[in-house]
Amino acid sequence: MARIVGLRGNGWTMRYMQVIWAIVFLAVHGFGQNTVDASTLPSAPAPQEARPQIAMARGQQMPQPATPQSTSALSTPQAAGTRTLLSVQDAQALALKNNPQITVGRLTALASQQVTREVRSAYWPQAQIALTAVDAPTNTRVTAGALNNPLIYERAAAGAMVSQLVTDFGRTSNLVASSNLAAKAENQNALATKEQILLAVDQAFYGAMQAQAVLTVAQQTVKDRQTVSDQVGALFRSKLKSQLDLSFANVNLAQAQLLLVDAQNNLDATQATLSSVLGFQNLQNFQLVDDTSPVEVPPDNIDELISTAFSMRPEILALQYQTESAKRFQKAERDLLLPDIRAIGAVGDTPVRNPAIDAWYGTVGVNMDIPVFNGFLYTARAKEASLRAQATQERLRDLKDRIARDVRTSWLNAKAAHDRLAVTQQLLEQADLSLNLAQSRYKLGLGSIVELSQAQLQETQAQIANAEAGYDYRLSLAVLQYQTKGI
């Protein structure tokens, strides 16, 4: 036991000796020569930076951190993926493929064709198969609920009954013609829906292009006015310009920044509208391609355009079909007063039967229903159909009046938009000249800051008007084409 304690004492002695030698060594060489300035040490890594270092120590691949530029780009909805080039023709094709309203119109037209088949089924024989099994006491008769009291026999039988319309004196043919015309009207309504979607695509596309052009003008305006503000600020600090000049320059800069905010918001709204009309629920990342096709001059003969609209507009054609359909339906309702003649046949077998019943049966006959009096029901239905047909005829006349007005209005708008092209270009040239002169006068001390601000405002307005004029004219042509013969 004493020997173990002695060994422990020798071990601690060796450790104490090593510590003493280390202290002597540091004392000889000096503490200050090997010390490190804390200010030169690198700062401790942040917790999120420590994880990549551990991953690299374990041999894992560390992802590259995003640069500030890519981070800001990813924060915007348009930079979430690769931008797809989109022309106005591509936008129309996408809308025809994706927009649900076009699908609804097509399905409704297909459903209306089935109504014609439903009505035409009256021309075909109506066949039924019946299986009957009866158990009744002897001499059972039905004595209530009818004037006759047929005797009921025990039996089990199977048979077929066939009924064929011979003639109803034109009612079924008028119903078939009415439903067929209604189906044609639905086809024209589907075409009208398609034309409306295409017009909405053009409006959204050119609206987005116009908003993009205005945004470009706003960005350049902010850049130019920022330069003027910086220059005036430098002159003010050098006591060469007054506080009023600096104030006006800053006001002009703030107005340009407000214009930029509104332009960006307008662009985002038009992009959302375009994505919606193309059939997408989410905002799509499209890069719009400017329409470089040559523009046409509006035609001069407005009466010819109105005549073309009357013959080609699907809304008019649909209402014409509806009018004819209502007339044929009115005739069908009138034919309810005429007789209905049908041929009827029945055949069957009775394997289990009362001895009083034969083993099989068969019969053929003709039935004629002649309406005599039902409280003037058929007369009222015919009168109702006639009044509705007249109302449809008046709606057609009203639609033609409105379409003639719309064609004339769109034609006037197209001519005015065409005239604006040259006027806005001239306005922009004069505004640029006025701004250059105002800047020169201000630099020479001959003009005031008010004169320069007015020239800047006029140039911005001229740039916006010139940017909007081209797309306004293309959109007016699209509206004129829609109003006359469709897009």
User: Would the pLDDT of 26 be above 50?
Assistant: no
Mean pLDDT, to the nearest integer, of 156-166?
94
Angle at the Cα of 406 from the Cα atoms of 404 and 407, rounded to 5 degrees: 65
- Looking at residue 189, its pLDDT comes to 95
* Residue that the structure tokens 């994706």 belong to: 98
What percent of the chain has a predicted confidence (pLDDT) above 90?
Answer: 61
Mean pLDDT, to the nearest integer, of 138-154?
76
Question: How many other CB atoms sit within 10 Å of the CB of residue 422?
Answer: 10
Distance separating alpha carbons of residues 294 and 271, to the nearest angstrom: 25
- 46-69 confidence digits (pLDDT tens): 333 333 332 333 333 333 333 333
- Looking at residue 149, its pLDDT comes to 67
User: Would the pLDDT of 272 be above 80?
Assistant: yes
Would strands 340-353 and 360-369 be described as parallel, antiparallel, or unpaired? Answer: antiparallel
- Looking at residue 437, its pLDDT comes to 92
Helix/strand/coil for 474? helix
- Looking at residue 142, its pLDDT comes to 78
User: Would the pLDDT of 146 be above 80?
Assistant: no
Say which range, 139-148, 286-295, 391-400, 470-479, has the weakest mean pLDDT: 139-148
Mean pLDDT, to the nearest integer, of 316-332?
96
Distance separating alpha carbons of residues 456 and 436, to the nearest angstrom: 10
Instruction: List, in order, residues 6 or more apart from 349 with CB less than 8 Å away.
Output: 157, 158, 159, 359, 360, 361
pTM of the model: 0.74
Distance separating alpha carbons of residues 325 and 175, to the nearest angstrom: 9
